[in-house]
Amino acid sequence: MSEIYINEYSAVCNLGARIDEIFKNALNCGNGFFTFDSDIVRGKTFPLGKINIPLPEIENKVYNLRCNRLLLHCLREIDTKKLIEKYGRHRIGIVIGTTNSGADEYEKSGDIRHARIGNPAGFLKNHLGLEGYFSGVSTACTSGIKAFATAKKLIDTGVCDAVITGATDAVCKTPVFGFHSLEVLSQNPSLPFSKNRNGINIGEGAALFVLEKEPAKTATAVCGIGETSDAYHCATPDPEGIEAARAIEIALEEAGLKPTGINYINLHGTGTLSNDIMEAHAVHKIFAEKTPSSSTKSLTGHCLGAAGGIETALCCAMLDEKINPENYLLPHFYDGMYDDTLPVINLVQKNQKAQKLEYVLNNSFGFGGSNAAMVLRRVHARI
């Protein structure tokens, strides 16, 4: 399988306004980055991974959505002028994953364009004056990695020479009410894989990536992407994780790797009873308890359609020799009380380093039985 390369990337979430800040705060752990909100569900207070920094405004009312303002914040870290000069406006694609788009804004405005899944992708195309392919991707919590899959196909088939891909979602009332009605929204910071876990926290954020055929001086390679579907239940994953494991196996096969080649796994790790059962089975089936693994959702909250993008940015930062020269692994922050009814997985401790850090796996699993896994490789900086 041919590799494509992440040559630039940026992110924003409750942990920080820049990827280096986000990574540093993730290494330090702690759930002090949550906002305890009692305004959405009457009589209930929930920790939310809200972003509390000023965001740029968008003059065009069609696109002035919070999720697009998050993207615009990320775009400031990307050298789009150089990219356009290199490839031209018609050869650069846009693929953005989201689940909410502008659902909250639509409730107030009544403008159906605010609720369209393609609005964030359309915003970037319009803002940058591009003339090529653009699309939105919405496959629940796998949207961030599925956007990479679409972007890779565009480059592999020659439709685009480069693709700006990523994901964005803002805290929105509809999923907060929805997860509360499913009784999986926790009133405390989430505890993935703990015997005391009782649900998820909602977060928000965005991440952007520039994908090209050739690596820059510093880059991360996308080596393999696996996609499967459970066809099991609309809201509950197959507890055996059969198709989730197959998505991982496909990603490994495309990357030309055996399970022992993976040095770290970023788990989907939502902290719900059913998700953690499924993922523990899928990961243990392939990796046993050997590969260091962690979920970062106990720090960021579950950012829904943006989760896979933000977690990919965290993986890129971990592989980035400038940001992480000492090979620290992203820690698994929870109460330390592993659920011993689950197959054992090797959870990363705070301040744990990797002897070797070349390949990482990023998992995303979503409603409707959507499964996605992506293998990333460190590309050593070239002089």
CATH number at residue 165: 3.40.47.10
How are beta strands 359-366 and 370-379 bridged, if at all?
antiparallel
Cα 306 from Cα 193, distance rounded (Å) = 22
Residue located via tokens 């059969």 = 242
Is residue 268 domain-shared with residue 287, that is, in the same domain? yes
Could you tell me which of 263, 320, 344, 352 has the C-alpha nearest to residue 6? 320
Q: Give the model's pLDDT for residue 231.
A: 86
CA pair distance 187, 45, nearest whole angstrom? 6
Q: Domain boundary at 185, 212, 239, which?
A: 212
Helix-strand-coil split of the chain, %, nearest 5: 35, 25, 45
pLDDT of 383 over the 60 cut: no
Judge contact between 207 and 310, C-beta under 8 A. yes
Report the pLDDT value the prediction gives residue 1, as an integer from 0 to 100: 60
224 and 186 both lie in a single domain: no
For range 84-106, the mean pLDDT: 97
Any bridge partners for residue 185, and if so which?
Answer: 200
* Contact assessment for residue 359 and residue 377, using Cβ atoms and an 8 Å cutoff: yes
Query: Rounded to whole angstroms, what are the CA distances from 143 to 69, 219, 370?
Result: 19, 22, 9
Q: How confident is the model over 63-72, as pLDDT tens digits? A: 999 999 999 9
Domain termination residue (choose one: 195, 212, 229): 212
On whether both 14 and 157 belong to a single domain, the answer is yes
The 3-class secondary structure across 101-117, one letter per residue, is: CCHHHHHHHCCHHHHCC
C-alpha distances in Å from residue 376, one per residue of 167, 252, 291: 17, 10, 15
Point out the residues that are catalytic: 141, 268, 302
Which residue type is seen at 316?
C
What does the mean pLDDT of the chain come to? Answer: 96
pLDDT tier, 233 (very low <50, low <70, confident <90, very high otherwise):
confident
Which pLDDT score is estimated for 232? 87
CB 69, CB 55: distance < 8 Å = yes
Do 227 and 197 fall into the same domain? no
132 and 160 Cβ atoms separated by less than 8 Å? yes
Using CA atoms, how far apart are residues 84 and 272, in angstroms rounded to an integer? Answer: 43
65/235 Cα distance (integer angstroms): 28
Question: Where does the pLDDT of residue 78 fall: very low under 50, low under 70, confident under 90, or very high at 90 and above?
Answer: very high
Q: Which range of residues forms the domain containing residue 135?
A: 4-212
Do 207 and 233 reside in the same domain of the chain?
no
CA 4 from chain centre, in angstroms, equals 18
> What is the SS3 assignment for 318?
helix
Same domain, 165 and 257: no
- Per-residue pLDDT tens digits for 332-357: 999 999 999 999 999 999 999 999 99
Name the CA dihedral angle for 71, 314, 294, 47, rounded to a multiple of 10 degrees.
Answer: -40
CB 267 within 8 A of CB 280: no
The reply to whether 313 and 274 lie within a common domain is yes
Class of residue 1 by CB neighbours under 10 A (exposed 0-12, middle 13-18, buried 19+): middle
Residue pair 84/144 in contact (Cβ under 8 Å)? The answer is no
pLDDT of residue 381: 66
Same domain (yes/no): 158, 97: yes
Evaluate if residue 148 carries a pLDDT over 80: yes
157 and 101 in a common domain: yes
CA pair distance 232, 370, nearest whole angstrom: 10
What confidence score (pLDDT) does residue 368 get?
Answer: 85
Are 61 and 166 in the same domain?
A: yes
Give the separation between CA 187 and CA 250, rounded to whole angstroms: 37
Q: Is the pLDDT of residue 128 over 70?
A: yes
Pair (178, 283) in one structural domain: no
212-222 residue pLDDT tens: 999 998 899 99
Measured CA to CA, the distance from residue 15 to residue 160 in angstroms comes to 33
Total domains in the fold of the chain: 2
Tell if the pTM clears 0.85, that is, is over it: yes
Instruction: Please write the tens of the pLDDT for every residue from 258-276.
Output: 999 999 999 999 999 999 9
| Torsion angle of the four alpha carbons 94, 110, 140, 178, in this order, in degrees rounded to the nearest 10 | 160
Check if the beta carbon of residue 350 is closer than 8 Å to that of residue 331: yes
* One domain for residues 151 and 240: no
